[in-house]
Structure 1
Amino acid sequence: MAKSFRDRFIAKELLFGTFLKVPATMPAEIFGSVGYDFVVIDEEHAPFNRETTDRIILACRASGLASIVRVQSGAPEAILSVLDCGADGVLVPHVRDAETARAIVAAGRYAGGKRGFAPTTRAGDFGNAGQAEHMKSEDKRVTLIAMIEDPEAVEAIDDILAVEGLDGVFIGRGDLAAAYAGDDDVATKLRDATDRVHQAAKAAKRPVAILPGSPQDAAIQRKAGSTAFILSSDQGFLRAAASGALASMTDAVQQTG
């Protein structure tokens, strides 16, 4: 039996994914076909609704691709909705303290938590799984990842990582850079924050995900401790490929004119 995304993430296997921002199933199918391990369906910054998210999760299952949803918030109903659709986990933005991390765990787990029970969903195989079986398998399957993207979160990182049931963290360097924008040396501040999260995660034996800015940056973050890498997005790949094709074809045609 193939290992779940959560098993692989916790084991700190090297994993590669991308953000999905186009509300369609085809990007997920393409990423699955070329060998990506997971995608992050971006409900926070893209025009997804419950139906599009549901369809994309189904496409991920058909493509052998793990589906993580970046929910709009850590609200219990936001987490419950995507987990019932069968998402392999959630990426929760702006987790600033341990209290918020505990609330996420409560919303996403049955054992010791407060997740709403609905076994007639895709997650419960539409009623095929019994109550005990469904609850046990979901708690084993669902991955809960906190986004560390605020200065307050960096300061509270040890307490956040100590929350039982939280599987790991994602370092949101974009939002951190924006938060440090008024500082005299944003680059140093951001590098120190990233290092601090890596060190805390290593001490807590928790995995770290990150979005690298380049292959060289990916190598640096891998050495620091990151094991899950989110590479750009479907929109980013589309723009880069379209721009590259236009430039190369224009150059070729102009040279023959």
Structure 2
Amino acid sequence: MTPGFRDQLVGGAALFGSFIKTPSPHATEILGDLGFDFVVIDAEHAPFERHAMDTMLLGARAAGIAALVRVPALSGPHILAALDDGAAGVLVPHIDSVDKARELVTLSRYAGRRGFSNSTRAGGYGGRAMWDHVDMADRAIAVIAMVEDVAGVDAIDAIVDVPGLDGVFIGRGDLAVALQDRTPNAERVAAMTERVLQATRRAGKAAWVMTASAQEAARLQPLGVRGFIVSSDQGFLRSAASQALGSFRTACAAGV
């Protein structure tokens, strides 16, 4: 885990990161070198088994960047694996009720039902005394609920009031698909996003979004968004490669 990341998050700092979709530490090292605040290892939608995730978290530690894990589901073994391997926190998909929000916190904290071991990377491979490890982990781990279902939006006021929940990621893509909202600016999704932002501001919790532009980030920050996920390693590669290919083709065509 990366000391200070949760403190920055709950303290109101704007934090910038990216999804990691490729099971290799190189993109994480590059993003850390560039000064990104965090990465999110996407174990829900990308091919990350336990060994690959462990390697990624080691790479993040070497690069000095906080790494969170988007686990595949609300599952004790998935959350425990990410945190034992040294994740700074977890993003957990489809938290659509207050009961699931409570379960998420319970599974993520030693004060709840997180299984104890200090022989892991998170525990310094046994170098940290039991209660030092327990207390530090419960202070440092960031717990983020992904609200990406209509039911989750309907329950948002109760969800954000769950003690120990640090923030809410608004899954606007999932909401658009669930609503079949195909309008250009997804107006129903925008209304639901505003509803979630109102609830997070009231509760003093951090809101997270995936954003496509710096202009949108500047608009959303005053509304309480603190965690900005910008593209992904694959997205950055595709964008840069597309621009390079286009510029080379244009230049060479002009010279013919």
Please confirm whether the aligned pair reaches a TM-score higher than 0.5, indicating the same fold: yes
- Aligned partner of 1:171: which letter? I
Residue equivalent to 2:89:
89
Q: Distance in 2 between matches of 1:178 and 1:160?
A: 22
SS, match of residue 211 in structure 2 = coil
Give the gaps of 5 or more residues in structure 2: none
Match of 1:201 in 2: 200
Aligned-partner residue type, residue 196 of structure 1 = R
Equivalent pair of 2:97/2:152 in contact (CA under 8 Å): yes
Equivalent residues of 1:124, 1:134 under 8 A apart:
yes
Q: 1:37–1:185: structure 2 CA closer, same or farther, 3 Å change rule?
A: closer
Are 1:58 and 2:58 an aligned pair?
yes
Q: In structure 2, what is the Cα distance between the partners aligned to 1:57 and 1:171?
A: 24
Q: Measure, in 1, the Cα distance between the counterparts of 2:157 and 2:176.
A: 21
Superposition deviation, residue 220 in structure 1: 2.1
Size of the aligned set, in residue pairs, is 255
Aligned counterpart, 1:67: 67
Q: Distance in 1 between matches of 2:224 and 2:140?
A: 23
Q: Tell me by how many angstroms 1:180 deviates.
A: 1.0
**More deviation, 67-76/179-188:** 179-188
Report the 3-state secondary structure (helix = DSSP H, G, I; strand = E; otherwise coil) of the residue aligned with 1:39. strand
TM-score between both structures, scaled by the size of structure 2? 0.96
* Between 180-189 and 143-152, the greater mean CA deviation after superposition: 180-189
Of residues 197-206 and 211-220 in structure 1, the stretch that sits farther from structure 2 once superposed is 211-220
Partner in structure 1 of residue 190 of structure 2: 191
1:122 is paired with a residue whose SS is coil
User: 1:165 corresponds to which residue?
Assistant: 164
Aligned partners of 2:181 and 2:253: how far apart in 1? 46
CA contact (8 A) 2:3 2:140 kept: no
Could you report, residue by residue, the CA deviation over 1:3-28 in whole angstroms, capped at 9, with x for unpaired residues?
Answer: 61100011110100000001101000
Over the matched positions of the two proteins, sequence identity in percent amounts to: 46
Are 1:248 and 2:247 counterparts? yes
One-letter identity of the residue aligned with 2:180: A
Corresponding residue of 1:6? 6
Partner of 1:115, secondary structure, is coil
Report the equivalent of 1:34.
34
8 A Cα contact 1:180 1:186, kept in partner: no
Match of residue 218 from structure 1: 217
RMSD (CA atoms) = 1.5
- 116 and 245 in structure 1: CA distance in 2 versus 1, 3 angstrom threshold: same
What's the CA shift for 1:186? 7.5
In 2: Cα distance, 1:215 partner to 1:170 partner? 18
In structure 2, relative to structure 1, the CA distance for the partners of 1:117 and 1:243 (3 Å cut) is same
Instruction: Tell me which moved more, 193-202 or 221-230.
Output: 221-230
Q: Following TM superposition, by how much is the alpha carbon of 1:182 offset from its aligned partner in structure 2, in angstroms?
A: 5.8
Note if contact 2:69-2:89 (Cα within 8 Å) is conserved in structure 1.
Answer: yes
**Could you list the runs of 5+ residues in structure 1 that have no partner in the other structure?**
none
Query: Residue 29 of structure 1 aligns to which amino acid in structure 2?
Result: E
